[in-house]
Amino acid sequence: MADIKNLTVLPRPRSAWQAMDAGFTLARAHYVKLVILWLGFSIPVFLACAALQLATGWSMWSLMLLLWWWFKPLYELPIHLYLSRALFSEELSLRETWKLALSHFGKLFKTYLTLARLSPARALTYGVVFLEQLPRKQRGARIDTLKSEKTRHFLLVQVCFHIEYIMAYAVITAVALLFFSDAISELDFAAYQAAVESPDSHPWLIAASMTSLIAAALVAPFYVTSGFLLYINRRMQLEAWDIEHRFRSIRPRSGLGITAIVLLAFSLSQSEPSLAEDRASSMISPVSANAIVEEILADEDFGSIETRWEPILDFDNDWDDSDLSFFDKLNGSTTTFALIAKALLWIGIAIFIMLLIHTLRQFRRPEIRTGALSRKGRDVEDAKSHPLTQNLPTDIVAAAEHLLAQGERRQALSVLFRGALRAIMEQYDLNVARGATESDCKQSIASVASQLQKNTFTRLLGVWQNEAYANQPQPEQTIASLIDEWKTAFVIHANDNTQASDSAL
């Protein structure tokens, strides 16, 4: 495991964008070597695929490109291994790098030449697989940890993918337009298969393959380097390499052999290549840096304690009481409002309790509950308000005799019937239902009236019903005799009541 004290870059946390910019800068600094490392494995594979394709025929030429594309992690592995060693002060030669890459072939085939080949985070996870060398289960957890924050690796893939294929097909198109313009005009995409199999299209296929190889070689260093620095950036964030490095390396190391990597460290935060170059050109040498450090250590301020005073507000003591005068004015009103609210609350509680008691009373005593059948009007009336006793003359006998004399037998019997009822109701303080019929009235008075009154009332009802409902005119003598009986049964009692009232007065 590499020691952090051998780190050749100045570690500090950067954003994903800054890390990718640094990756592009680093790739440019080592571009040629990185391209060679990439081609070292890609060309043999390309030739092998081409040979395989030549053996099977030109019709499956695109399959050759696909097979070659599938082995891209194999070509990228030397670049990654070279950068990882250079980061920790170990500069590998091309041969050593390829040799080291060969030793990782087994792991590479088991990890990246499976479905993981399609992972857009390939460049980000190379470090986990080939540097940390964690077991498979821990590797997944580690990768998840790295991806816990946005690393923008998908954007890196998109950018590199577009640059690569735009470049490839731009070259093809340019070459075709310059040298094979006639062939382009004659190309019929509907007869693509026939065109591919024709000898005339073979130069096209070769040109397309070669341009794809060249485009991939040109873009690959940027992709792998940017992915590697994304990985390093995440480790710096997670493991605080910057703090640890500062503690361990107060003094710059002398005798560093990899000056270029030191220069790279200072250029990581720069996205503009020209600015990075300026920084590199103005970079101080290790000797002059050592002098600066000695100067800083000799300074009397170094290691001293600086005391800073921060104001702390004490509202209890520092607050100006005059500022509270406004609240003092409100103090009395607030108290009044609180008292009113408190009184309203008590009133509400009292109303609630009363309603509760009322509800419980009705619930427990259904007989006092106002039923659904109850109405505003009374169903039972006394003598003064009962419909049967309304519009009756004071002197019933005189009125009946008068009506009988006029031949109004029905009206005379009606006055006698209703007058008898009123007399009994008044005499016995009896209430009768508004809808009471003749038999209801007879039943009502049965329990209170005298026998004479009941007999007279019964006979009266019979005559009245025959006259009123049966349309059977009753003899005048019968009605006259009823008037006489009425006098005996009801007038005497009426006079008694009147006399009693007079004596009381």
Chain residues binding other proteins by CB under 8 A are 371-373, 375, 377, 379-380, 387-388, 410-411, 414, 418, 433-440, 465-466, 468-472
At residue 146, the 3 state secondary structure works out as helix
The whole-angstrom separation of Cα 252 and Cα 324 is 61
Environment class of 363 (CB within 10 Å of its CB; exposed 0-12, middle 13-18, buried 19+): exposed
Of 15 and 465, the one with the shorter C-beta distance to other proteins is 465
Residues in contact with 86: Cβ distance below 8 Å, sequence separation at least 6, in sequence order = 8, 92, 258, 261
**CA distances for 442 relative to 135, 383, 455, 461, 462, angstroms:** 111, 15, 10, 8, 11
Taking alpha carbons only, the member of 65, 87, 444 closest to residue 260 is 87
Least spacing, CB of residue 391 vs other proteins, in Å = 9
Contact yes or no for 225/26 (Cβ under 8 A)? yes
Least spacing, CB of residue 422 vs other proteins, in Å = 12
DSSP state of 421: H
Of 450 and 478, the one with the shorter C-beta distance to other proteins is 478
Least spacing, CB of residue 441 vs other proteins, in Å = 9
Least spacing, CB of residue 483 vs other proteins, in Å = 18
The whole-angstrom separation of Cα 444 and Cα 436 is 9
Of 327 and 469, the one with the shorter C-beta distance to other proteins is 469
Of 238 and 468, the one with the shorter C-beta distance to other proteins is 468
Residue in the structure block whose two tokens are 């037998």: 409
Of 128 and 388, the one with the shorter C-beta distance to other proteins is 388
The whole-angstrom separation of Cα 466 and Cα 475 is 11
Of 237 and 431, the one with the shorter C-beta distance to other proteins is 431
Of 120 and 407, the one with the shorter C-beta distance to other proteins is 407
Least spacing, CB of residue 401 vs other proteins, in Å = 18
Of 210 and 433, the one with the shorter C-beta distance to other proteins is 433
Least spacing, CB of residue 470 vs other proteins, in Å = 4
The DSSP line for 429-473 is: T--EETT--HHHHHHHHHTTS-HHHHHHHHHHHHHHHHHHTS--P
Of 333 and 471, the one with the shorter C-beta distance to other proteins is 471
The whole-angstrom separation of Cα 53 and Cα 352 is 95
The whole-angstrom separation of Cα 300 and Cα 304 is 7
Contact yes or no for 238/145 (Cβ under 8 A)? yes
Least spacing, CB of residue 485 vs other proteins, in Å = 21
Contact yes or no for 156/123 (Cβ under 8 A)? yes
Least spacing, CB of residue 342 vs other proteins, in Å = 40
Least spacing, CB of residue 431 vs other proteins, in Å = 12
Contact yes or no for 126/227 (Cβ under 8 A)? yes
